[in-house]
Amino acid sequence: MLKLINSFPLIMLLSLTCTIIIELLFALLIGIRDKKDLINVLLVNIITNPIVTSLSFTIDIYYRNYYLISIIILELLAWLTESLIYRKYLNYKKINPFIISLILNATSYFIGIIINNIIW
């Protein structure tokens, strides 16, 4: 467990970096081109990703039996938070902000699982 805890800063950095890259790429793929909108996607992830990552990491270590349900709850809360921010601040109106957030979060989550399985 100590080795896992010692790797926490690296996990946080990798998680945030991968999430930002994936979500910005998919934002571009769905048509978001405005510089301010892309910065919004970046900033939203700088806020939500560390919270979700650190809470899920902690729950995984101390409350492993509740990990799956906690991930579902944390991801739903991140999706809702990001959706509300996108609804208020994104200029891009071609796709509903709740759908944008769902697309971006789902892709980064599932690609993150694949990357996790490769790295760890």
For residue 89 the two structure tokens come to 């601040």
Q: Is 30 helix (H, G, I), strand (E, B) or coil?
A: coil
Is the pLDDT at 6 greater than 90? The verdict is no
pLDDT tens profile 10-51: 989 999 999 999 999 999 999 999 999 999 999 999 999 999
Please give the Cα distance from 114 to 53 (Å, whole number): 16
Is the pLDDT at 64 greater than 70? The verdict is yes
Please give the Cα distance from 92 to 74 (Å, whole number): 26
pTM here?
0.91
pLDDT tens profile 75-97: 999 999 999 999 999 999 999 99
